[in-house]
Amino acid sequence: MNNEQLNEKLKELKIEDFIWFVYIGIIFLSWYSNSLERNYFIFNDQISKEKYRKIIIIIFSILVIVYFYFLSDSYKSLKSLNQFDSNKKQDLVYLSFIASLLIAISGLIFLYIALEDEDLNVELAFN
């Protein structure tokens, strides 16, 4: 690994460290949104319902951005493959790209559901 590649890898790791902090924030937001959802269902609290929906929309908006970052990174890895890379590496990079694409698509679908489901009829979960 030359110096330029090392610097690029360190830059990517710094971004991924930031993304871990974003995930920690999402965990706390999700925890809070669950309590709001619970208040809505138990007490029919309409304010909790609206706060819950707004937080869920924020969460999935952030996740879609993160998922597209990883999709972009995966696409860059796919484009950097060359004919001298092993078949195994090529297969794994290709599969990683497909997985990143599917995760990004699922994030968009969940965001759409969060935007459209005003009555909280659909349970949203993410990994």
**How many domains does the chain fold into?**
1
| Residue of 98, 13, 12, 29 lying closest to 63 (CA atoms) | 29
Say if CB 71 and CB 96 are below 8 A apart. no
Q: Which domain holds residue 27?
A: 3-116
The answer to whether residue 83 sits within a structural domain is: yes
Residue 121 included in any domain: no
- For 64-112, what is each residue's pLDDT tens digit? 999 999 999 999 999 999 999 999 999 999 999 999 999 999 999 999 9
Res. 119 pLDDT band, cuts 50 70 90: confident
pLDDT at 123 over 90: no
Residue 56 lies in a domain: yes
Average pLDDT of the chain to the nearest whole number: 94
User: Is 122 domain-assigned?
Assistant: no
* Residue 81 covered by a domain: yes
Does some domain include residue 126? no
Alpha carbon separation from 103 to 5, 62, 63, 72, 119 (Å, rounded): 27, 14, 10, 12, 25
pTM as predicted: 0.89
Quick one: pLDDT at residue 13?
A: 95
6-61 pLDDT, tens digit per residue, is: 999 999 999 999 999 999 999 999 999 999 999 999 999 999 999 999 999 999 99
Q: What pLDDT was estimated at residue 71?
A: 98
